[in-house]
Structure 1
Amino acid sequence: MTPKEQTKLRQVDPTELAHFRRYVQTGQLIKHGSPEMAMSAKMTARANLILAEISTGYHDHQEIQAALSELTCRPVDSTVTVILPFTTDFGANIKFGKHIYVNAGVAMQDQGGITIDDGALIGHHVVLATLNHGLDAAHRHDLIPAPIHICKNAWIGANTTILQGVTVGENSVVAAGAVVTKDVPANTVVAGVPARVIKQIEN
């Protein structure tokens, strides 16, 4: 890819992005062959380009912060730390708060929207997946979006998978290796597959 082609790929039409963000908030299907699916594919290519640049060689905190701001199409606060490697297949539907720590190997599938509030900790190799597919094989390539929300001061343990539509409540802890399929109440510890409440956190 030529430098000119790379520059073009990095550019995002604000109107198209705003439409996509609004569209997925409705929970409607992203249908195979639709303009929304085409936008998703375009943004995936863009994310791959930006992430490839910061996944090779050494990059300091400021360089990573700048890349994340470009990737998400939003300013990323200097108190956000993301340890490489980091992957996402869209990038521009992630919202980071402040004082967030994301450890190595985290993968965010963010088309449906991912919001991470202040003080959250995300462990090694966590997967945040905001998309699903229907059971009907004739429409298996359609995507079903739903947002993930990691609330203030939540701690997501290593190798956890959090599925679409889940809110992890404030101050809660998701134990390592859990698969979270439904909302996690605030001030609780959940564990297992599927994750269940095993403990209340006393403040």
Structure 2
Amino acid sequence: MQITPKFIKIGKGVVIREYARVEGITKYAGENFFPKIEFGENVKIQQSLHLTCAKKVFVGKETAIAANVTITDINHGYEILDIPPERQKINVQEVYIGMNCKIYNNAVILPGTILGKQVIVGANSVVKGVFPDYCVIAGAPAKIIKRYNFTNKQWEKTNFNGDFIL
């Protein structure tokens, strides 16, 4: 397990299973960073989470994260062709995961992602973008496949933009 506790704020009732990497990155390719990782109350994380953070990753309360999930606010650059990507400067964008979300096995949450509350992320999904409250997303890249219609009080299929299909 690799955890950098001084960059992590953990709410009451948080469970992080074995083999987790929850790491704040403070220096990379000559740049300094000030990471902030926050888990709200009762977040449950299964084994083998890979979370790296150079700016901010927030996981809302009551969110459940299944096994082998990656969450990162870091993207390795590939600007200079004669330098391996792993040695180039990183690009950083905050990640926000709302409360009551469920992220299934092997999902990858990429920099700049914002998940509203009660978003379900399907297994093996690659997630980047902004997704509204009460929706189910899946795929690589992840798209909205259904969301809750408060007018009809039921879950309904949508197009990939989240518009209800009539």
- Whether the TM-score (by the shorter chain) exceeds 0.5 is yes
State the shift of 1:85 in Å.
1.4
Aligned residue in 1 for 2:126? 179
Return the match for 2:21 from 87, 111, 130: 87
Q: Separation in 2 of the partners of 1:162 and 1:76?
A: 20
| CA distance 1:77–1:133, shift in 2 (3 Å) | closer
User: Percent identical across equivalent pairs?
Assistant: 21
Aligned residue in 1 for 2:42? 99
Q: Separation in 2 of the partners of 1:77 and 1:167?
A: 20
2:160 equivalent to 1:160: no
Say which structure is richer in strand.
Answer: 2
| CA distance 1:72–1:126, shift in 2 (3 Å) | farther
Say which structure is richer in helix.
Answer: 1
Structure 1 spans left out of the alignment, 5+ residues: 1-50, 53-67
Structure 2 spans left out of the alignment, 5+ residues: 26-34, 149-153, 156-166
Aligned residue in 1 for 2:136? 189
| CA distance 1:109–1:74, shift in 2 (3 Å) | closer
- TM-score, with length taken from structure 1: 0.61
Return the match for 2:60 from 108, 112, 117: 117
CA RMSD of aligned residues (A): 2.1
Contact between 1:133 and 1:142, CA under 8 Å: does it hold in 2? Answer: yes
| CA distance 1:118–1:195, shift in 2 (3 Å) | same
Task: Give aligned pairs, total.
Answer: 137
